Structure 1
Amino acid sequence: MRFQLSDDQRALKGGVRELLERRFGREALRAAVDAPGRLDRALWRALGEAGFFALRLPEADGGVGLGLPEAVLAFEEAGRALLPGPLVATHLAAGAVPGAATGETVVTAVDGELVEWLDAADVVRGGTSGAAPLRSLDPLTPLHRVPGPAPTDPVASLLTAAEQLGTAVRVQELAVQHARTREQFGRPIGAFQAVKHLCADLLVRAETARVAVYAAALTGDPADIAAARLLADEAAVRGARDCLQVHGGMGFTWESDVHLHLKRAWVRARRGGGNTESEELLAAGLAV
């Protein structure tokens, strides 16, 4: 099966990337890191005006009227840019919660045993009784733990996989860029076999995850979504770790963005539909 994007899909993907580069470039990313827990409401409304949250809402209801494949492309770009906030929950609430589609209302939801951005959200979907603050690895994602797991929405898991795919693609780009420009012993480090292998592995994992995520967006099958989530989580987490290795000691510094991608990938992997849940779903399907 081939997954060639249409001209409209490529334009959508490019438009979302352009919007995020303009409204959430590196300077804005670093400002967000320095102000943990504060959600940029102006950016949220800009996303709403661009139709990010209303992509799958029918045109008759004021939405864009596109499908799950297009939402996956948009969330891939959001993951690539490390865009903070409860994006998945607000997107899924469009049409059900007033103001969610336009970005006027920030919606979060209990996802597995975690809820993100609980204090900053206007609306919380799911029970949060007994929620306790949890120290987050990711400075851009405040977390609370809730007692007992919540049911996982397959679409939420797929959109999380799309965000992970965006991170996997971005860290592969960062690793290759660094390997081409950083020199040791008078040569770019990308000329050394060990670095070549790391970059090749980054590419293979990212492209394998891409095919799985795009396929799951087309079929909507829970088993396909589970497989895509597993591959995307691995591509993001292992990819970010390998990117750190390519950067060497520089990658571990606070000034580098690589550690932010790794921390976000770790946090996303703990959302509902993560490793154990997806593995069990796939195992149950194979046992039939």
Structure 2
Amino acid sequence: MDFRLTDDQKALKAGVRELLTGRFDRDALRAAVDSPGLDRALWRELGAAGFFALRLPEEAGGVGLGLPEAVLVFEEAGRVLLPGPLVATHLAAGTVDGAAEGEAVVTAADGAFVEWLEAADVVLGDVEGAVPVRSVDPLTPLHRLPVGAHPYPPPRTSSWPEATLLTAAEQVGSAARTTETAVSYARTRQQFGQPIGAFQAVKHLCAQMLVRTEVARAAVYAAAVTGDPVEIAGAKLLADEAAVDCARDCLQVHGGMGFTWEADVHLHLKRAWVRAERGLSKAQAAEVEAAAL
């Protein structure tokens, strides 16, 4: 069997990257950090581009593609740290009015937290008693749900594998971006008269980042084809590890510069921490794997 991307899938991936690079570049990212809030105009542009209606049938006004294509799109969103409840709105397309077109922002109670509660037009699940908490990620506002108010699984139980897989795809995109960032920095940063990428320790870090990213990407792509919940749980474990550890290694490659607010590395690390608790957490994914074994 040939598991390489088709020409149409490559074109979709390239088109989404071009859209997001042009509409949410680094300047837009830093502006969003400085002035947090959901960009409604961008949300509608995503809707017009078919981001949310990607998997709706064409007769229902959608694009008519499948889960593998959605994974490619969400991977690109993860690369640029696109903010907002993307997964919840995507899953609500076709069932919540305005979600497919980007006119409605949809969020959902997930485990102990709900993202973007105050910005959402529609909230899925019981969020009564939710209180705002300081989020480690400046681009992901969080509310904590009361203990026992809404235990896992999320309200749309039948959609948890899809929500988990799309989150894993975002993690893969972030891991790929931090890997590329580390390699680029290692090629240009000079120390002792040569690029730091010439030093064995830095080479090993970058090589490990690439391996983590490619293994996680293969697992996510495979799970998108099979749709198997156990494979999705395994893919989420690998993607979370790749996103968090690659961000940490990228920070290490940058040295002291990586710890500054001006560097973007910390934004990838913080978003990876938040995503790791979305859908299936590490403990929950491990339980799914263990039960299958």
Q: State the one-letter code of the partner of 2:123.
A: V
Structure 2 letter corresponding to 1:221: D
Letter of the 1:159 counterpart: L
The structural deviation recorded for 1:3 is 2.7
**2:102 is matched with which residue?**
103
Matched, 1:43 2:50: no
Moved over 3 A (4+): none
Alpha-carbon distance, 1:150 to partner: 3.0
Which residue of 2 is the match for residue 171 of structure 1?
Answer: 178
Question: Does residue 259 of the first structure (1) align with residue 262 of the second (2)?
Answer: no
* In structure 1, C-alpha distance between the alignment counterparts of 2:74 and 2:3, rounded to whole Å: 17
Aligned to 2:205: 198
1:211-250 residue pairs with structure 2 within 5 A? Answer: 211-250=218-257
3-state secondary structure, aligned to 1:104: coil
Structure 1 CA distance, aligned partners of 2:153 and 2:267? Answer: 28
Provide the residue aligned with 2:28 in structure 1.
28
1:48-79 deviations in whole A, cap 9, x for unaligned?
00000000011110000000000000000000
Given the alignment of the two structures, is residue 272 of structure 1 paired with residue 274 of structure 2, yes or no? no
Contact 1:180 1:188 in 2 (8 A): yes
Q: Secondary structure at the match of 2:120?
A: coil
Cα distance in structure 1, aligned partners of 2:109 and 2:223: 23
- Alignment partners' CA distance in 1, 2:2 and 2:9: 15
Kept in 1, the 8 Å contact 2:77–2:173? The answer is yes
Q: Does the 8 Å contact 1:113/1:271 carry over to 2? A: no
Where does structure 1 lack aligned partners over 5 or more consecutive residues? none
* Cα distance in structure 2, aligned partners of 1:251 and 1:3: 36
Query: What is the aligned partner in structure 2 of residue 62 from structure 1?
Result: 61
Q: Distance in 2 between matches of 1:187 and 1:177?
A: 14
Write out per-residue CA displacement over residues 202-244 of structure 1, whole angstroms, 9 at most, x where no aligned residue: 0000000000000000000000000000000000000100000
Cα offsets for 1:117-159 (capped at 9, x unmatched): 0000000001001111111010000001113323141100000
Q: Please name the residue that 1:129 is paired with.
A: 128
Deviates more, 1:269-278 or 1:160-169: 269-278
Return the match for 1:184 from 182, 191, 212. Answer: 191
1:274 deviation in Å? 1.6
Q: CA deviation at 1:2?
A: 5.2
Match of 1:76 in 2: 75
Which whole-Å CA distance do the structure 2 matches of 1:64 and 1:272 have between them?
25
Native 8 Å contact 2:46 2:52 kept in 1: yes
Q: What's the TM-score, normalizing by structure 2?
A: 0.96
Count, aligned residues: 285
What one-letter code is carried by the residue in structure 2 that aligns with 1:150?
A: Y
Q: Which moved more, 1:239-248 or 1:148-157?
A: 148-157
Distance in 2, matches of 1:108 and 1:74, equals 19
Cα distance in 1 between the residues matched to 2:208 and 2:132: 36
Q: In the alignment, which residue of structure 1 is the partner of 2:152?
A: 150
Deviation at residue 179 of structure 1 after TM alignment: 0.3
- 270-279 or 241-250: which moved more? 270-279
Letter in 2 for 1:122: D
What SS does structure 1 have at the residue aligned with 2:99? coil
Q: Which runs of 5+ in 2 are unaligned?
A: 155-159
Displacement of 1:109: 0.5
Which secondary structure state, in structure 2, belongs to the residue aligned with residue 105 of structure 1? coil
**Contact kept in structure 1, 2:167 and 2:279, CA below 8 Å:** no
User: RMSD between aligned alpha carbons?
Assistant: 0.8
